[in-house]
């Protein structure tokens, strides 16, 4: 989202807030209470917390005379902002039978009405910045809401369906080809006036050796071959902590795969259980960093660094199987296309002359990277750390990203649950290495 006029800002606000409610439309009040793991939160809590954000960081600070909906909500729906208030333990969120879903909808209506009234006047620039941050925060929780409800429905013995209308389309995966990128000095990180999170800055130079990326993510069929070759039983393929996790949690397949009566596998999707045979060509998803890394070792390759991924993605259009398709499951790659070498890194390799780059572009052809956006978040080998010169936002909002820069790995590219307007080449997602309830997958890299 770039700098927005008041009218466009109001429109974006209504669109984002309505989208959250639409995602909850298939859910019952009982569904909205479920917290199926320590990673997840109830849908009801997502609706309340995103409302809390606007009330706490915009209305309470910038609108004199604003009357909060409930005096206890400032701490009840606080997630982790210690500078604002104490907060209940995350694992207790499913115990909030009160306030009811109806009261939370009333809370959203109260805050939305106040925000719309506030937007009619002169908005200070600091408030406008907070609103845009709040809209992006809401989009993050829309993605979390989808992944959390999928986990909740999976943990229900009946494996209920989230959306009957979604359909998995079978197909045949394109052959994996390799896209070569020259080494050199590149700039990564966000630039320009469009919105970004603080962890995407500052823009800075990195040096990369020549590298290559697979033209598409790893498919279910390819991952199944890893499993059939004893991948989950071979400690030499695994990082030490990964092997301990596999052993202690008895992992033998990606999350949401279960043994079928026929002896094969069924996969739980947002449209219910589907036989793996119908998904073999689709990107494998719901694998942890440990699983992604073990697969890469088995394949004789590696995972990309986040800098390599960004250099490959920076010139690709942000389009693909994202939230707006409402497929809610990865699809088969559309097929490799030919691209003149150098397009994806045009203007970033400092040591090459324009003339030399032009000659190379005309003389060499290569396949492009496919599905770089959407379908699955792609694990990188990069730890989530601050960029050189990083400074968190001042005040409580500085807790948004900076304090998590420890014991996390970076993912790139978005997934089927990511809003299209939310993702970009510089976006840095991050989760612990054992996490796999997100739509996370694998793209191989090599030297």
Quote the pLDDT of residue 133.
Answer: 96
* Dist CA 223 CA 147 (whole Å): 22
**Look-up: residue for tokens 């009234």?**
117
Structure-block tokens of residue 399:
């807790």
Closest CA to 344 of 316, 371, 320: 316
Name the phi and psi angles at 154, rounded to 5.
-65, -40
Q: Which residues pair with 302 in a beta bridge?
A: 445
pLDDT, position 342: 31
pTM of the model: 0.91
Angle of the 289-298 helix axis to the 220-228 helix axis, nearest 10: 70
Sites in the chain below the pLDDT cut of 70: 1-3, 165-170, 335-367
**Contacts of residue 276, Cβ cutoff 8 Å, sequence gap at least 6:** 220, 224, 257, 260, 264, 265, 266, 267
CB burial of residue 415 (10 Å; 0-12, 13-18, 19+): buried
Nearest CA to 136 among 446, 418, 434, 332?
418
User: CA angle, 310 as apex, 304 and 316 as ends, to 5°?
Assistant: 120
Q: How far apart are CA 360 and CA 353, in angstroms?
A: 11
- The shares of helix, strand and coil residues in the chain, as percent rounded to the nearest 5, are 40, 15, 50
Beta strands at 184-188 and 204-208: parallel, antiparallel or unpaired: antiparallel
pLDDT in the model for residue 170: 63
Which residue segments constitute the domains of the chain, with CATH numbers given?
A: 6-155 (1.20.120), 178-446 (3.90.1580.10)
Distance CA 28, CA 50 (A): 20
Return the H-helix or E-strand segment holding 96.
Answer: none
Name the 3-class secondary structure at 132.
Answer: helix
**331 sits in which H/E element:** none
Tell me the Cα Rg of the chain.
22
Q: Is 364 in contact with 341 (CB distance < 8 Å)?
A: yes
Residue 163 pLDDT: 85
Q: In angstroms, rounded to a whole number, what is the distance separating the alpha carbons of residues 133 and 74?
A: 19
């Amino acid at each position: 989202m770039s700098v927005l006029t008041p009218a466009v800002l109001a429109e974006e606000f209504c669109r984002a807030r309505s989208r959250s409610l639409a995602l909850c439309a298939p859910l019952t009040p009982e569904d909205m209470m479920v917290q199926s793991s320590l990673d997840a939160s109830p849908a009801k809590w997502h609706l309340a917390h995103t409302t809390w954000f606007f009330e706490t960081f915009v209305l309470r600070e910038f609108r004199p005379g604003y009357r909060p909906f409930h005096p206890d909500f400032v701490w009840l729906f606080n997630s982790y902002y210690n500078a604002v208030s104490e907060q209940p333990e995350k694992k207790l969120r499913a115990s909030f039978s009160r306030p009811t879903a109806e009261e939370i909808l009333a809370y959203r209506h109260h805050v939305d009405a106040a925000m719309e009234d506030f937007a009619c006047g002169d908005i200070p620039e600091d408030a406008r910045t907070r609103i845009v941050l709040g809209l992006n925060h809401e989009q993050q929780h829309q993605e979390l809401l989808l992944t959390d409800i999928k986990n909740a429905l999976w943990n229900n013995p009946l494996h209920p369906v989230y959306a009957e209308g979604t359909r998995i389309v079978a197909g045949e995966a394109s052959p994996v080809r390799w896209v070569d990128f020259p080494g050199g000095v590149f700039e990564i990180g966000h630039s320009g006036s469009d919105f970004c999170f603080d962890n995407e800055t500052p823009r800075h130079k990195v040096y990369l050796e020549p590298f290559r990326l697979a033209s598409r993510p790893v498919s279910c069929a390819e991952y199944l071959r890893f499993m059939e070759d004893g991948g989950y039983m071979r400690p030499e393929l695994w990082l030490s902590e990964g092997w301990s996790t596999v052993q202690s949690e008895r992992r033998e397949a990606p999350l949401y795969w279960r043994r079928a009566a026929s002896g094969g596998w069924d996969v739980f999707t947002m449209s219910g259980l589907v036989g793996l045979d119908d998904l073999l060509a689709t990107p494998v998803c719901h694998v942890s960093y440990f699983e992604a890394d073990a697969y890469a070792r088995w394949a004789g390759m590696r995972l990309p660094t986040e800098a390599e991924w960004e250099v490959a993605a920076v010139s690709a259009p942000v389009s693909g199987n994202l939230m707006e398709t409402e497929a809610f499951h990865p699809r088969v790659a559309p097929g490799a296309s030919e691209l003149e070498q150098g397009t994806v890194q045009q203007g970033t390799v400092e040591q090459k002359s324009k003339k030399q780059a032009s000659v190379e572009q005309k003389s060499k052809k290569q396949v492009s990277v496919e599905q770089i956006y959407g379908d699955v978040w792609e694990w990188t080998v990069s730890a989530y750390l601050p960029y050189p010169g990083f400074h968190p936002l001042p005040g409580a909002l500085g807790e948004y990203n900076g304090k998590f820069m420890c014991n996390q790995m970076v993912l790139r590219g978005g997934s089927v649950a990511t809003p299209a307007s939310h993702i970009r080449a510089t976006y840095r997602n991050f989760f612990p290495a054992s996490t796999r309830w997100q739509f996370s997958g694998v793209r191989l890299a090599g030297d």
